[in-house]
Amino acid sequence: MDIKAVKTGWKKLAKAIEDVDYAVFGYDYSVSLEQSNVRDFATMMLDNGFYLVDLMAVHVAPSIEVVYQYAHVETRCRVMARAFVDSNNEIATISDIYQGANWHERETRDFHGVVFTDHPYLEPIILAEEDVDLKPLLKTEAALKDVDVVRRKQPEPKVETAAAKSQEPS
Amino acid sequence: MAEEKKSLLRVHSYTKECIERYDGASSQQTKTSDAGPLVQMKLTDAIFDLCRANSLWPITFGLSCCAIEMMCCGMARFDLARYGAEVFRPSPRQSDLMIVAGTVNRKMAPAVVTLYEQMPAPRYVIAMGNCAIAGGPFAVEANYDVVLGVDTLIPVDVYIPGCPPRPEALIEGILQLQEKITGKRFPFPQNKMPKGA
Amino acid sequence: MAMDVEILDDPKHHRYVLNMGPQHPSTHGVLRVLLELEGEYAMELLPVLGYGHRCHEKIAEHKPAKSFMPNTARMDYLGALIYNHGFAQLLERATGIEVPERAEYIRVITSELNRIQSHLLWYGAYLLDLGAFTPIMYAFDDREHILDILEDVTGSRLTYCYFRVGGVSKDIDDKFVTSTRAFIDRLRSRFPMYEGLVNGNVILQKRLIDVGELDPKICSRYGITGPLLRGAGVGYDLRKSEPYSIYDRFDFEVPTETKGDCMASFLVRFREMEQSLRIIEQALDSLPEGPVMAAKVPKKLKIPAGDYNSSVEAPRGELSYYLVSDGTDVPYRLKVRTPSYSNLSVIPEMCQGMLLSDVVSAMGALDLVIPEIDR
């Protein structure tokens, strides 16, 4: 797998790509996506031989962030792709591309209330049917934090490079 | 799956009904959990109790971690067969002992009650492990799903604490249940002490 | 064996829905599978989860990250030390705590013992599902030896909480080393007995060969990892591909098969036990002296803001912890990606059109532990 070719493909779709220190954070790349590019990104990853490790949501202000984790089987390459849901808590499904996402999306719906449009069967999977509105992992007003609080802090620019480095968006 | 069959997925949660039905049952424990047969004779009852105590048939009801210790108990080292209880039946209709080994949550609660009610009397329940006694490590404020103790649903005869309890603890629980059924520990024909102890 | 399509479309044949579980001897926990059967062929399968849900991820948001360690053991109780390892590694990476050498070796030795114990239990329980009552007795006997060794040093038999952030909680002594070496010899001498007992048995071969075939493409789409993926021909083992801890110092193989059916994953798990023994031997030979706990581990372990990931090879596949931290010692979000969750999701596609007894075979070969699916 040619990582450079894959990254070129990402550049067309992603808002931002960040190289991450594997020794500290445990993954290699963090890719920010628009909500509308999620499906194209997933198709591209499937064609390049990545498998879907995980799909989860994090409740931050202003809106819930859905994180997709992909990994490659032959060379070490772990990618976290992020996308924010829209104002109706909706985002496109990728369960027709990666069938494993079917259950992950149902679980995200259970815990966070994120609705995946065009999902074939978005019913509760882990919670009981009558708990469909429980959404236990949504944060209360007091506990909800802004999205910048949970982003990794960029290292301080060194004094030698006098001009302030513009911080890369996560 | 056909549309009309999808309604089979609905699980009726009647936890509250169960609590009302068996309210306080654990505290008013008698030797058997219901009135008993119409004609009762002391000597035959004593003989039947001896027979029941020495051949308890548990139901395969391992829910989580404690189930593994229950399996170990049935294997060669901790041999439950010497107390007559190694015949784990899959069907509740053929068993008289329900060892609730593991955590019961709100989705599983109706199944626990249904299985209990399908067991023919006289039937006994052992709550094995901290989760079955009082919710165990999940009895925290953040919990929204775990039933805090199976005795909120069905009457329990013996409680075995531990997380998970050792197989020896489960054997002690079975022996205490035998004592509860017959009135004395090591009922005939069991030896009073294991040979060589 | 699947039915021909023409019969399926014939309206004279009607289907009925059968409920398998949540209390069932072959589902290995509280799993419910709704089977739409046509005669004895399972046309559609719908697993229903959630009967063992214990709110782990919510609990993680309400207690300091360090004290979540016992909960990690309760998720997969058969591979508890490996779950501990993944979580301890996550926090150590995030906070920059270095684990002493001796502790790393102890972690590897105990994790591999745990892996062997898990595979032995799988072996016994799987064959019990298929109707063989003897192998589980032998497997549990060997397993008890491992539990004795681990109990001396960890204090528990099943849900271990032995690893800490920065090392392990208690040092091992010479008794541990001698009894482990004795156990390695014992298990090696028992392997021919295990193989001779069942591997050539015609019933086992008829029930396992060509049942539940997976190929690498399906595995990629569903996120299947572990012995199932290795049985399908892909030699992906996180201990080799993303070496964590000190696994890159040991010489071991990653057994693979080509067919991807139940027999393939059966043989893969079998050979993995032998490879784990090799790792333990090499680790014992080169065990260094030293402390078993890092020098300075703060009582209140503040995790810098950001998101962290830690992936380890559990007995069932790839286990990943994903932690989002807001800078305090309480995690903002913790997601545990358990291998059985993704492995089970292939059931509706893999088992479609199979005989009911083949469904039992296929589910046993997946090696499910339901509390790790429901968390």
Total structural domains in chain A?
1
| Average pLDDT, integer, range C133-162 | 91
Residue B22's pLDDT band (cuts 50, 70, 90): low
| Average pLDDT, integer, range B54-62 | 89
Reference C248, options B153, A76, B50; nearest CA is A76
Rounded to the nearest integer, the mean pLDDT of chain B is 80
Q: Do A127 and B107 touch (CB under 8 A)?
A: yes
Residue C6's pLDDT band (cuts 50, 70, 90): low
In angstroms, the CA C123 to CA B82 distance is 25
Task: Give pLDDT, residue B20.
Answer: 58
Residue C288's pLDDT band (cuts 50, 70, 90): very high
Higher pLDDT, B89 or C27: B89
User: In this model, does residue A116 exceed pLDDT 50?
Assistant: yes
Give the model confidence (pLDDT) of B147-196 as tens digits. Answer: 888 888 888 889 999 988 999 999 999 999 998 888 888 887 877 766 65
Residue B36's pLDDT band (cuts 50, 70, 90): low
CB C61 within 8 A of CB C333: yes
In angstroms, the CA C161 to CA C139 distance is 24
Structural domain includes residue A117: no
Task: Give pLDDT, residue B184.
Answer: 84
In angstroms, the CA C60 to CA C82 distance is 18
Which CATH number belongs to the domain containing residue A68 in this structure? 3.30.460.80
Q: Out of A141-150, B79-88, C153-162, C228-237, pick the least confident.
A: A141-150
Structural domain includes residue A32: yes
Task: Give pLDDT, residue B18.
Answer: 57
Task: Give pLDDT, residue C10.
Answer: 62
In angstroms, the CA A59 to CA A144 distance is 7
* B143–chain A Cβ distance below 8 A for any pair: no
Residue with tokens 């509105």: A133
Of A127, A129, A136, the CB nearest to B10: A129
Task: Give pLDDT, residue B9.
Answer: 41
Residue C183's pLDDT band (cuts 50, 70, 90): very high
Residue C241 backbone phi and psi in degrees, to 5: -80, -40
Q: Do C54 and B145 touch (CB under 8 A)?
A: yes
Q: B101 pairs with which residues across the strands?
A: B62, B128
Give the model confidence (pLDDT) of C52-92 as tens digits. Answer: 899 899 999 999 999 999 999 898 899 999 999 999 999 99
DSSP letter string over C21-43? -SS-TTSSSS-EEEEEEETTEEE
Of A56, A127, A153, the CB nearest to C50: A127
Eight-state DSSP code of residue C67 = G
- Beta strand ranges found along chain A (DSSP E): 14-19, 29-33, 50-58, 65-72, 78-84, 90-92, 115-117
Q: Out of B138-152, C96-110, C183-197, pick the least confident.
A: B138-152
User: In this model, does residue B35 exceed pLDDT 80?
Assistant: no
Reference C149, options C194, C112, C105, C119; nearest CA is C112
Is residue B111 helix, strand or coil? helix
Sign of CA dihedral A123, A126, A128, A132: negative
Higher pLDDT, C14 or B11: C14
Of A123, A128, A134, the CB nearest to B11: A128
Give the model confidence (pLDDT) of C12-66 as tens digits. Answer: 567 888 888 788 877 678 888 988 888 888 888 889 898 989 989 999 999 999 9
Domains and CATH numbers, chain C: 56-342 (1.10.645.10)
Residue count of chain C: 375
Which of chain B's residues have a Cβ under 8 Å away from the Cβ of C159? 65, 163-164
Task: Give pLDDT, residue B32.
Answer: 47
Query: A74 vs chain C: nearest CA distance in angstroms?
Result: 7
Reference A169, options A34, A59, A26; nearest CA is A34
Give the model confidence (pLDDT) of A9-68 as tens digits. Answer: 888 888 888 888 888 888 889 999 888 888 999 999 999 889 999 999 999 888 899 999
Domain coverage including residue A22:
3-101
Residue with tokens 């539940």: C212
Query: A146 vs chain C: nearest CA distance in angstroms?
Result: 9
In angstroms, the CA C205 to CA C262 distance is 10
In angstroms, the CA C240 to CA A53 distance is 18
Structural domain includes residue A133: no
User: In this model, does residue B145 exceed pLDDT 70?
Assistant: yes
* B145–chain A Cβ distance below 8 A for any pair: yes
Q: Do A124 and C345 touch (CB under 8 A)?
A: no
Eight-state DSSP code of residue B167 = H
In angstroms, the CA B131 to CA B150 distance is 8
Eight-state DSSP code of residue C107 = H
Other chains touching B, judged by 3 or more CB pairs under 8 Å: A, C
Structural domain includes residue A136: no
Residue B98 backbone phi and psi in degrees, to 5: -110, 110
Structural domain includes residue A168: no
Task: Give pLDDT, residue B17.
Answer: 58
Residue A7's pLDDT band (cuts 50, 70, 90): confident
Strand order in the sheet with C354-355: C16-20, C32-38, C41-48, C354-355
Structural domain includes residue A157: no
* B10–chain A Cβ distance below 8 A for any pair: yes
| Average pLDDT, integer, range C134-149 | 92
B9 → chain A, closest CA residue: A129
Task: Give pLDDT, residue C175.
Answer: 92
Rounded to the nearest integer, the mean pLDDT of chain C is 89
Sorted by sequence, the CB contacts under 8 Å of residue B72 that are 6+ apart come out as B78, B167, C140, C144, C157
User: In this model, does residue A156 exceed pLDDT 70?
Assistant: no
Tokens read off for A115: 């609705």
Query: Helix and strand tally (H, E) in chain B?
Result: 6, 4
CB B62 within 8 A of CB B102: yes
* A149–chain C Cβ distance below 8 A for any pair: yes
Residue A134's pLDDT band (cuts 50, 70, 90): confident
Task: Give pLDDT, residue B194.
Answer: 63
Structural domain includes residue A115: no
In angstroms, the CA C360 to CA C340 distance is 16
Q: Choose, out of B57, B59, B73, B77, the residue to mutate when testing the contact with C (most C CBs < 10 Å).
A: B77
Domains and CATH numbers, chain B: 42-182 (3.40.50.12280)
Task: Give pLDDT, residue B130.
Answer: 92
Task: Give pLDDT, residue A168.
Answer: 39
Burial C54-84 (b: 16+ CB within 10 A, else e): bbbbbbbbeebbbebbebbbbbbbbbbbbbb
* B163–chain C Cβ distance below 8 A for any pair: yes
* B13–chain A Cβ distance below 8 A for any pair: yes
Of C55, C121, C141, the CB nearest to B138: C55
Q: What's the burial of C288, exposed, middle or buried (CB within 10 Å: 0-12/13-18/19+)? A: exposed
The H-assigned helical ranges of A14-59 are 22-25, 38-47
Structural domain includes residue A53: yes
User: In this model, does residue B25 exceed pLDDT 60?
Assistant: no
Measure the CA angle with vertex C27, ends C219 and C337; round to 5°.
45
Residue C225 is which amino acid? T
Which of chain A's residues have a Cβ under 8 Å away from the Cβ of C90? 26
Give the model confidence (pLDDT) of C305-344 as tens digits. Answer: 988 999 999 999 999 999 999 888 899 999 999 999 999 9
Task: Give pLDDT, residue B21.
Answer: 61
Reference B177, options B87, B63, B58, B21; nearest CA is B58
Tokens read off for A31: 């890719």
In angstroms, the CA B2 to CA B104 distance is 30
Q: Do C221 and A102 touch (CB under 8 A)?
A: no
